[in-house]
Amino acid sequence: MMAEHLKSGLSAVERSEEDARTREIVETTLSDIEKRGDEAVRALSEKFDGYAPEAFRLSESDVEALVAKVPASDLDDIRFAQAQVRAFAEAQRASMRDIEIETEPGVLLGHKNIPVQSVGCYVPGGKFPMVASAHMSVLTASVAGVPRITAATPPFKGEPNPAVIAAMHLGGAHEIYCLGGIQAVGAMAIGTETIAPVHMLVGPGNAFVAEAKRQLFGRVGIDLFAGPTETMVIADETVDAEMCATDLIGQAEHGYNSPAVLVTNSRRLAEDTLAEIERILAILPTADTAAKSWADYGEVIVCDDYDEMLRVADEIASEHVQVMTDRDDWFLENMTSYGALFLGPRTNVANGDKVIGTNHTLPTKKAGRYTGGLWVGKFLKTHSYQKVLTNEAAARIGAYGSRLSMLEGFVGHAEQCNLRVRRYGGINVPYGEAAPRRDADE
């Protein structure tokens, strides 16, 4: 039997039509920013956020005043969350080592991990102030050693959100802008009269922000395609419908287009979860958003067995995957395509979103098939180098390089190698010919 859908969301065609509309809007907007710079950014901010201050960049005194507005208890919680994120990021950084090895006598090869020199961190916040996104991007970039960290977040209710600004500041941002949406990521990547362009964009966002990052990729680096939140619950009858429904709807409240999928081998659990979701939506303060997401993007899939659950889950490649079964570690060992796993009923996606320490900027739209999420390594570039220390090594490697270049028809390449064979090996290789073999090369 094939997996059965007790509930489906919008069809692939309907979703692609929505993606096409988003793509067109973003392309036009980025073109406007490139042509008109600050003028376009200001007009867009006024249009979408009703916000057009004298300067979008916050001064040191602006930042200090905003941080002072955050209650001490909230600052304590922010510091606790940042300590968890920092500890995990530092452990990850320690796992990345520079190396140097001698592959042949006199031949040294190595690599260095060098921080990206400037990063633009986008922190969503128009509908919900995403304090935690500052930890995940700004603080992680700081641990990586990025020397210029620019952070941007939209105004919340017409002004900078103090808690978000505090998290950016405590995380190590060097420049903070109260600017949102396409205009923020566009300005950071393209540059304007007052905003110097960065080398890389990171951070989650809505469909428009994610599409802007996609279109800007190449001009700048990006962390990954981190669009609207996706969540999946993989569950069997070891848990109940309340647990499943709460974890699905808890993530659906992110936005109107946040997919939430239940994959189970229990029809009873599937049906009970559908009913429980309706109960929760009747009492949830953010039900307007969550109900729209659930109606258009919610799915309930009943599978025959655990193997089929695994196949379905890997095919969907969801951003967040909550696993609550009698074999959670089996899914950890066998799943290959996802953003992050949340194993067992004692943890949940909100832990990962806010505090536990793993990064919450994760791949969406099936990108988990080819990349993991944001982590300290995303801010580091691994660059290789080589040294040849002796005349003998220069001649020996050069002779191989000469012959292999001629094998491919690259005479100019061969001459680069031949010059070293002549100078350091004392062998008079005729111009444009392959270096001869020596007995030691046989």
Q: Which residues of the chain have pLDDT under 50?
A: none
Nearest-10 Cα torsion for 112, 113, 114, 120: 160
* Whether domain 228-373 has CATH 3.40.50.720: no
Q: Kindly report the number of other CB atoms within 10 A of residue 240's CB atom.
A: 15
Q: How far is the C-alpha of 401 from the C-alpha of 435, rounded, in Å?
A: 9
Q: Is 183 annotated as a binding residue?
A: yes
Q: Residue 348: what pLDDT?
A: 95
Q: Which part of the chain has CATH 3.40.50.1980?
A: 19-96+115-223, 228-373
**Across-strand partners of 383?**
112
265 is annotated as contributing to ligand binding: no
Rounded distance, CA 26 to CA 89, Å? 33
Query: What is the DSSP-derived secondary structure letter of residue 105?
Result: T
122: which 2 tokens?
Answer: 């986008």
CA–CA dist 46, 83 (Å, integer):
36
Assign 7 to helix, strand or coil. strand
The three-state secondary structure class of 207 is helix
Question: Is residue 229 annotated as involved in ligand binding?
Answer: yes
Q: Which of 211, 253, 276, 319 is catalytic?
A: 319
Q: What is the DSSP letter of 252?
A: H
3-state secondary structure of 139: helix
pLDDT of residue 70: 98
Q: What is the 3-state secondary structure (H, E, C) of 314-370?
A: HHHCCCEEEEECCCHHHHHHHCCCCCEEEECCCCCHHHHHHCCCCCCCCCCCCHHHC
Catalytic-labelled residue, pool 175, 230, 276, 320: 320
Please say whether the dihedral angle defined by the alpha carbons of residues 253, 257, 258 and 260, taken in this order, is positive or negative: positive
- Active site (annotated) includes residue 319: yes
CB proximity list for 198: less than 8 A, separation 6 or greater: 118, 119, 120, 148, 150, 188, 189, 220
Amino acid at 379: F
Contact by Cβ (8 Å): 372, 363: yes
**Is 408 assigned to a binding site?**
yes
Q: Which amino acid belongs to residue 74?
A: D
428 is in an annotated binding site: no
Q: Does 161 carry a binding-site annotation?
A: no
Specify whether 135 is catalytic: no
320 is in an annotated binding site: yes
Angle at 115 between CA 112 and CA 121, to 5 degrees: 155
DSSP 302: E
Torsions phi, psi of 102, nearest 5?
-100, 105
Cα 410 from Cα 415, distance rounded (Å): 9
Structure tokens at 321: 């995957």
CATH number of the domain at 19-96+115-223, out of 3.40.50.1980, 1.20.140.10, 3.90.1150.10, 3.50.50.60?
A: 3.40.50.1980
Q: Six-digit token pair at 62? A: 């602006």
C-alpha–C-alpha distance, residues 278 and 249, integer Å: 10
What pLDDT does 28 receive? 97
Closest CA to 396 of 425, 431, 419: 425
State yes or no: 307 annotated in a binding site: no
